[in-house]
Amino acid sequence: MSRHALYEKRPFLLASIACAAAYFYLRDADIPEMLAIALKGASVGLLAIYAFVRHSGRDARLLAWVLGLGALGDIGIEYDLQIGALLFFAAHIFAITLYLRHRRDEASPSQKALAACILILTPIIAFFLPEDRAGAPQVALYALALGAMAACAWMSDFPRYRVGAGAALFVISDLLIFAEMGPLATSNIPHVFIWPTYYLGQFLIAIGIVQTLRKRDPELKLVSNR
């Protein structure tokens, strides 16, 4: 699809990508802080609008809530880490609800084992990453919801190599945040990779779920072509 066709058919996706790229390249530049925060919040916020206008079903609305809370979390985390974490925690609960509504009927033992590893290892790894051990239990509690979200996404009947992979990228991004509190505190790796892995994860989740819902329930497509 050409850039012009993307703008005509998916303007909110194109605007989201543009905001995400602008934030990544401008966040260290000499620009007003509020502009950087606005670009950051708009990146996933526009994905929420995309989900809302592309399908009128209950699950698309639930996805819009997931992405909307994520966008608020992106903004909140800039002011207070705990506020941002609470917003993302709520987003994960909504996402778990969505994925459980779309449980896969059959799964191979290896896929079940992988989901179990994601669920169990995510909070364990997160617990040992922060240098401040007093805050480690809170990190692990958040990571339990994060791991449950990713495990449920992997075991849902949405496309694994979009939605499941997107959830896995989300986990990687958050683990990098926790690593920046400990072993990678002096490394540039978190700064470079946290945002791309997070945004790509959210993007894959959004398009994977919306496209699937539109195929399964074409009568619930909205008139809007966005």
pLDDT digits (tens, 9 = 90+) for 61-119: 999 999 999 999 999 999 999 999 999 999 999 999 999 999 998 888 999 999 999 99
Q: Which two tokens stand for residue 22?
A: 């602008």
pLDDT of 9 strictly over 80: no
* Residue matched to tokens 């799964």: 107
pLDDT tens track for 23-70: 999 999 989 999 999 999 999 999 999 999 998 889 999 999 999 999
Cβ-count burial 54-93 (b if 16+ within 10 Å, e if not): bbbbebbebbbbbbbbbbbbbbbbbeeeeebbbbbbbbbe
What does the alpha-carbon distance between residue 206 and residue 209 come to, in Å, rounded to a whole number?
6
What does the alpha-carbon distance between residue 220 and residue 210 come to, in Å, rounded to a whole number?
11
- Prediction pTM value: 0.92
pLDDT of residue 78: 93
- What average pLDDT score do residues 202-209 get? 97
Which range is least confidently modeled, 2-6, 51-55, 160-164, 184-188?
2-6
pLDDT of residue 220: 63
pLDDT tens track for 171-187: 999 999 999 999 999 99
φ, ψ of residue 11 in degrees (nearest 5): -60, -35
What does the alpha-carbon distance between residue 126 and residue 146 come to, in Å, rounded to a whole number?
10
pLDDT of residue 217: 78
pLDDT of residue 107: 82
pLDDT of residue 46: 97
